[in-house]
Amino acid sequence: MHASLFLTAIALIPFAVAAPRHPSFHSRRDGENTSAPAAPTCDLGNVQQPASVLAPPTGLQLVLVALGKGTQNYTCADPTAAPAAIGALAQLYNASCALAGNPSASTTSLGSIDESASIGEHFFVDNTTPDFDIFGLGNTQLKKVQDASAPKPDSDVKWLRLQAQAQGTTGGVKMIYRLNTVGGVAPATCAGQAAGDVITVDYEAQYWVYA
């Protein structure tokens, strides 16, 4: 009996190793220290968004510009299919002062921001519901209400206007814009991938947060 169970367990090991590994959509662990890091605050009153076709945030106040660095995530139905988006996972860093001093700063120029001072996380609660958990601003679940092609659409994911939803939102954030994206576009096909495999593509973006 014991020998039979042992052989069965050994036989299952290759299947466990070969199973696709999906990215974690929320990397914070229970019990982890979530104290807010010290972060500079700067006057954003006169900072204007990069020009785009996205509707402006009428009547709202810009409270934060965050640099997001992470991955756009896709899954494959089979090797001939186009990758299907299943959300993103990114760490957020305070870029408010950098943008206050230079509103036209490119996303790549913000790479010098101290990456040990993450101010929160961006993840998805399901394949279509983005979530932002930001120190001092609470948790915000949103839905996409508008998108626009990036200036380099072949390599950079779309710019977005995201509207906060009552469910899952604990703070006063009303709108978040994803702007000045760099990277994140999926390959054209799932060639070389097995059914269920996950493709992660590095990206960076500016997240303009309004309340």
Q: What is the pLDDT of residues 156-165, one digit of tens each?
A: 999 999 999 9
Show the tokens assigned to 198: 């996950």
pLDDT grade for 41, boundaries at 50, 70 and 90: confident
| CA distances for 110 relative to 67, 84, 90, 180, angstroms | 7, 29, 15, 11
Is 202 among the domain residues?
yes
Is 200 among the domain residues?
yes
pLDDT of residue 116: 64
Is 32 among the domain residues?
no
Is 145 among the domain residues?
yes
What residues make up the domain containing 193?
Answer: 41-47+54-210
pLDDT grade for 18, boundaries at 50, 70 and 90: very low
Is 15 among the domain residues?
no
Q: Which residues contact 9 (CB under 8 A, 6 or more apart)?
A: none
Helical ranges in 73-165 per DSSP H: 96-101
User: CA-CA distance, 121 to 182, in Å (whole number)?
Assistant: 18
Pick the more confident residue, 36 or 48: 48
**Residue 89: pLDDT over 60:** yes
CA dihedral (147, 206, 137, 43) positive or negative: negative
Is 35 among the domain residues?
no
pLDDT grade for 7, boundaries at 50, 70 and 90: very low
Rounded to 5 degrees, what angle do the CA atoms 86, 111, 161 make?
Answer: 45
Mean pLDDT of the chain: 84
**Residue 149: pLDDT over 90:** yes
**Residue 201: pLDDT over 70:** yes
Is 97 among the domain residues?
yes
Show the tokens assigned to 94: 């305070």
Pick the more confident residue, 93 or 25: 93
pLDDT grade for 10, boundaries at 50, 70 and 90: very low
**Residue 30: pLDDT over 90:** no
Question: Region 43-72: what's the mean pLDDT?
Answer: 95
Is 2 among the domain residues?
no
Name the residue with tokens 């060639």.
Answer: 191
The count of structural domains within the chain is: 1
User: CA-CA distance, 171 to 122, in Å (whole number)?
Assistant: 15
pLDDT of residue 111: 74
**Residue 43: pLDDT over 70:** yes
What separation, in Å, do the N-terminal and C-terminal C-alpha atoms of the chain show? 64
pLDDT of residue 40: 55
